[in-house]
Amino acid sequence: MGARNFEVSILQWSTALDESKDAWNDTFVHPDSTHWLIGGPRLPIMGLTARAGITEKLDVGIYLTKSPGANYGFYGAQAQYNLLHKKQQKFSTSVRGSFLKMYGPEDLNLTVYSADIVASKEFVLHEKWLRLSPYAVVSGYLSASHEKSEVVSLSNERVGAFQAGGGVVARIAMANIAIEYNQASVNTVSMKIGATF
Tell me the pLDDT tens digit for each residue of 87-114. 899 999 999 999 999 998 787 889 999 9
Residue 22 vs residue 195, higher pLDDT: 195
Could you give the CA distance from residue 171 to residue 194 in angstroms, rounded to a whole number? 10
Could you give the CA distance from residue 33 to residue 184 in angstroms, rounded to a whole number? 27
Residue 151 vs residue 146, higher pLDDT: 146
Asked if residue 145 has pLDDT above 60, the reply is yes
User: What is the residue-averaged pLDDT of the chain?
Assistant: 87
Q: Which residues contact 32 (CB under 8 A, 6 or more apart)?
A: none
175 pLDDT band, cuts 50/70/90, is very high
Task: Specify whether the CB–CB gap between 146 and 163 falls below 8 A.
Answer: no
Of residues 113, 36, 118, 126, the one with CA closest to residue 76:
113
Task: Specify whether the CB–CB gap between 6 and 196 falls below 8 A.
Answer: yes
Say which amino acid occupies 54: I
**pLDDT given for residue 67 in this prediction:** 73
Asked if residue 28 has pLDDT above 70, the reply is no
Contacts 24+ apart (CB under 8 A), 85-94: 85/57, 89/121, 90/121, 90/122, 90/123, 90/124, 91/119, 91/120, 91/121, 91/122, 92/119, 92/120, 92/121, 92/122, 93/117, 93/118, 93/119, 93/120, 94/118, 94/120
For residue range 48-76, list pLDDT tens digits in order: 999 999 999 999 999 999 877 777 889 99
DSSP 130: E
For residue range 114-144, list pLDDT tens digits in order: 999 999 999 999 988 899 999 999 999 999 9
Asked if residue 41 has pLDDT above 90, the reply is no
**pLDDT given for residue 140 in this prediction:** 94
> Where do the H-state alpha helices sit in the chain?
22-25
**pLDDT given for residue 44 in this prediction:** 78
Q: What is the CA radius of gyration of the chain?
A: 19
Thinking of the domain 6-196, which architecture would CATH place it in?
Beta Barrel (2.40)
Residue 92's DSSP bridge partners are 85, 120
As a whole-number percent, the residues of the chain with pLDDT over 70 amount to 86
As a whole-number percent, the residues of the chain with pLDDT over 90 amount to 59
